[in-house]
Chain A
Amino acid sequence: MSPFVEVILTIITASTPLLIAAVGELVAERSGVLNLGVEGMMVMGAVAGFGGAFLTGSPVVGVLCAIVAGMLMAAIFAFLTLKLVSNQVATGLALTLLGLGLSGLIGEHFVGQPGIKLARLDIPGLSNLPIVGPIVFGEDPLVYLSIALTIAVSYVLFQSRAGLIIRAVGDSHASAHALGVSVVQVRTLSVIFGGACSGLAGGYLSLAYTPQWIENMTAGRGWIALALVVFASWRPGRVIVGAYLFGSVSVLGFVVQAVGVTGLLEIVGQWPGEIQWIVVDAIRVVTTPQFLSSLPYLVTVLALVVISKSTRSRGSQAPACLGQPFVPDR
């Protein structure tokens, strides 16, 4: 396989979990609930996905376990924030802390065990085509699912009655309540849908991205997914763009390894005096593994800054009731 194809494939596998988690969170936020527990639901999905596949030998069971784990976590969050009206920010943090702890405890015996990788699609004839074959016809099924999911969410949110209700609840819960919509019920379902997606995204990490269990293997991806929703101005179509952008940044380290730092330095070596040394030093710093690893986080901050600055003048795109508690007693 050519290095180019390999880079593209890696970008796709790195972007898919971000896309799935962000699309799920987008639905929850559209209904007016800010669930900061994406990281916790994701990491539980990852450990449940690995465990399910490891114990049964079937990656499909793993995927299902991951989804259920995410849904259970989301259900706890929904009960606290929607039924007991607890603070959404604090409860989301609690969900993340609990998820990270619990997954570490559950996954203790999975560390170092061989993982089961989700098989990639293999269509005779098509998957072997040069370049296009592996990229378009040779992905694992969840990659296709993630795209289909985004289109479906976009359709449901903006073209269906259910989507109208979800958006109404998120933009004005008092009006939706007055119209006879059960705000708490709609939000509970949206949050649980978000949990299912986060769980699936976590399962993708431990079944396809790096098929093994490593403690804290989500490494902040849940938080990046949260930032993606803001970055995408709560629009599913833009989440795809954002997810692939962030996915590309996160595999830059891989690309640099593929090209080779020495190769880069040789090219620069041809340049004249002063500039050469500055560039060489810059390359040395920029290509340290730590700097490359920090890029996704720095880019997330940068993206948040850029998008916040531009929406500040146009007014926020966020659902009007995002993060606000609702008690149906008035």
Chain B
Amino acid sequence: MRIDLIKRPEQSKVMAVASPLIAVALTLVTGLIIFAALGVPPLKGLWVYFIDPLTSSWSLQKLAIKASPLIMIAAGLAVSYRANVWNIGAEGQLTIGALFGSAIPILFNSWQSPLTIIAMLILGVIGGMLWGLIPALLKVKTGANEILTSLMLVYVAQLLLDWLVRGPWRDPNGHNFPMSVAFDGWQRLPTFGTTDVHYGVVLAVVAALALGVLMSKTLKGFEVRVLGTAPRAGAFAGFSPNRMVIFAFLVSGGLAGLAGICEIAGPGEILQPSISPGYGFTAIIVAFLGRLNPVGVIVAGLALGVSYLGGEEAHTVLGISDKAARVFQGLLLFYILACDTLILYRPQVSWRRPRVDAEVAQ
């Protein structure tokens, strides 16, 4: 038996929708195998992992909080990847965004007004944009590969944060723990009623929808898609690839920065050496699961948010390592990429060896 890939005359619309669903299904099946290998009843494992987080209003609130940074970052990354600009340093831009935004409560601790949180959010966006601008400018000015430079800057950003919270920004009354002063009042994002759900969740959805409109309804969105798929055609249309690199990094970096400060001003409360469980990297998976479509990213962000919550749940209930969540996330991206082949190609199963002349004829 052999399987050949036959190129479809045009992209399959059915598969474009079905591919992420197939990928999720395959991840769940692999999950069964992994649970069995870890000595956990597989179905119970799946239930705890993927269904339990959806069953109580309390866990749904947590889901919204977990998913919002993923949605925010991935919406920006989706635009960037559509333009064929590979920003994989969102984790670093998130860190610098958090750092910039936190400068206000740490350096001007007594300032309490509704403007405080607004200024923090704006600074967060600016921080993320500036950090994203470094690889963008290096790419435009020197041609340095943005994948490698943006990733290297993640480590630099994390070390910078580490230095600040252990050194100049450490809380003087904090018993020498590496953390800043705690934020309160207008230094934190307001929440809905008595819940823990903060307004960052709204910002995430608004950002994703706005980018969705930008991509499908505006000339800029058209420019992104043309330069991403057919750079030469884009150049003939007068679109500048260099300006696109800068645009893509400003959008994705700015949103990653916003996600960073929302994490600190929302659930985080203080700046400490580790502020994100790898949201910037998981968002890459979210972007692909959402078909590089900012609106699709909202659904995908919720799906990956479930995997984070399920990971915590499975850790406490079943004693499964919390590391398993990252394995599921990595597997999911593999399955998405493999299933995406079905959009462009039709698998053909042939049971006999093909005749040699048939191959020549192709």
Which residues of A approach B to under 8 Å, CB–CB? 36, 76, 80, 84-87, 89-91, 93-94, 97-102, 104-105, 108, 219-220, 223-224, 226-227, 230, 288, 290-291, 293-294, 297-298, 300-301, 304-305, 308-309, 311-312, 327, 329
**Contact at B144–A301, with CB atoms within 8 Å?**
yes
Query: What chain B residues lie within 8 Å of A100 (beta carbons)?
Result: 326, 330
> What's the Cα separation between A99 and B331 when bound, in Å?
10
> What's the Cα separation between A108 and B59 when bound, in Å?
27
> What's the Cα separation between A89 and B88 when bound, in Å?
10
Q: Say how far B17's CB is from chain A's closest CB, in angstroms.
A: 18
| Chain B residue at minimum C-beta to C-beta distance from A223 | B151
**Contact at A220–B152, with CB atoms within 8 Å?**
yes
**Contact at B167–A223, with CB atoms within 8 Å?**
no
Give the residue of A80, A93, A105 whose beta carbon is less than 8 angstroms from that of B323.
A105
Q: Say how far A184's CB is from chain B's closest CB, in angstroms.
A: 11
Q: List 6 A-B contacts (CB under 8 A).
A: A87-B340, A89-B86, A220-B152, A230-B145, A290-B160, A290-B166
Q: Say how far B70's CB is from chain A's closest CB, in angstroms.
A: 14
Query: What chain B residues lie within 8 Å of A311 (beta carbons)?
Result: 143
**Contact at B5–A91, with CB atoms within 8 Å?**
no
Q: Say how far A222's CB is from chain B's closest CB, in angstroms.
A: 10
Knowing A98-B333, A105-B327, A305-B142, the reply to whether A93 touches B338 (Cβ < 8 A) is: no
Within 76-134 of B, Cβ neighbours of A (below 8 Å) are at: 81, 86, 88
Among A86, A93, A308, which residue has the most Cβ atoms of chain B within 10 A?
A: A93
**Contact at A89–B147, with CB atoms within 8 Å?**
yes
Query: What chain B residues lie within 8 Å of A300 (beta carbons)?
Result: 148, 152
Knowing A80-B338, A86-B341, A101-B330, the reply to whether A108 touches B321 (Cβ < 8 A) is: yes
**Contact at A84–B338, with CB atoms within 8 Å?**
yes
**Contact at A297–B163, with CB atoms within 8 Å?**
no
B334 located at the interface, meaning its Cβ lies under 8 Å from any Cβ of chain A in the complex: yes
Query: What chain B residues lie within 8 Å of A227 (beta carbons)?
Result: 145, 148, 152
Among A80, A86, A301, A327, which residue has the most Cβ atoms of chain B within 10 A?
A: A301
Closest 7 interchain pairs by CB? A98-B330, A101-B326, A290-B163, A94-B333, A104-B323, A309-B142, A308-B143
Query: What chain B residues lie within 8 Å of A97 (beta carbons)?
Result: 281, 284-285, 326, 329-330, 333
Which residues of B approach A to under 8 Å, CB–CB? 5-7, 81, 86, 88, 138, 141-145, 147-149, 151-153, 155-156, 159-160, 162-163, 166-167, 281, 284-285, 288, 321, 323-331, 333-334, 337-338, 340-341, 344-345, 362
> What's the Cα separation between A301 and B155 when bound, in Å?
12
**Contact at B155–A220, with CB atoms within 8 Å?**
yes
**Contact at B327–A84, with CB atoms within 8 Å?**
no
**Contact at A301–B153, with CB atoms within 8 Å?**
yes
| Chain B residue at minimum C-beta to C-beta distance from A219 | B155
**Contact at A297–B152, with CB atoms within 8 Å?**
yes
**Contact at A98–B163, with CB atoms within 8 Å?**
no
Query: What chain B residues lie within 8 Å of A80 (beta carbons)?
Result: 334, 337-338
**Contact at A309–B285, with CB atoms within 8 Å?**
no
Query: What chain B residues lie within 8 Å of A85 (beta carbons)?
Result: 5, 341, 344-345
Give the residue of B6, B160, B340 whose beta carbon is less than 8 angstroms from that of A86.
B340
Query: What chain A residues lie within 8 Å of B167 (beta carbons)?
Result: 288
**Contact at A301–B163, with CB atoms within 8 Å?**
no
> What's the Cα separation between A309 and B145 when bound, in Å?
11
> What's the Cα separation between A205 and B138 when bound, in Å?
31
> What's the Cα separation between A230 and B153 when bound, in Å?
18
**Contact at A94–B337, with CB atoms within 8 Å?**
yes
| Chain A residue at minimum C-beta to C-beta distance from B7 | A329
Give the residue of B142, B324, B333, B340 whose beta carbon is less than 8 angstroms from that of A312.
B142
> What's the Cα separation between A122 and B247 when bound, in Å?
58
> What's the Cα separation between A80 and B144 when bound, in Å?
27
Query: What chain A residues lie within 8 Å of B362 (beta carbons)?
Result: 329
**Contact at B323–A291, with CB atoms within 8 Å?**
no
> What's the Cα separation between A90 and B325 when bound, in Å?
20
> What's the Cα separation between A301 and B340 when bound, in Å?
33
Q: Say how far A176's CB is from chain B's closest CB, in angstroms.
A: 17
> What's the Cα separation between A94 and B23 when bound, in Å?
14
Knowing A98-B331, A297-B153, A308-B142, the reply to whether A230 touches B337 (Cβ < 8 A) is: no
Knowing A90-B337, A300-B148, the reply to whether A294 touches B326 (Cβ < 8 A) is: no
Q: Say how far B227's CB is from chain A's closest CB, in angstroms.
A: 16
Q: Say how far A215's CB is from chain B's closest CB, in angstroms.
A: 8
Q: Say how far B62's CB is from chain A's closest CB, in angstroms.
A: 21
> What's the Cα separation between A291 and B166 when bound, in Å?
13
Query: What chain A residues lie within 8 Å of B147 (beta carbons)?
Result: 36, 89
| Chain A residue at minimum C-beta to C-beta distance from B155 | A297
Knowing A90-B288, A105-B327, the reply to whether A223 touches B152 (Cβ < 8 A) is: yes
Q: Say how far A180's CB is from chain B's closest CB, in angstroms.
A: 12
Knowing A80-B337, A84-B338, A105-B327, the reply to whether A308 touches B144 (Cβ < 8 A) is: yes
| Chain A residue at minimum C-beta to C-beta distance from B344 | A85
**Contact at A291–B338, with CB atoms within 8 Å?**
no
| Chain A residue at minimum C-beta to C-beta distance from B332 | A94
Query: What chain A residues lie within 8 Å of B145 (beta carbons)?
Result: 227, 230, 304, 308
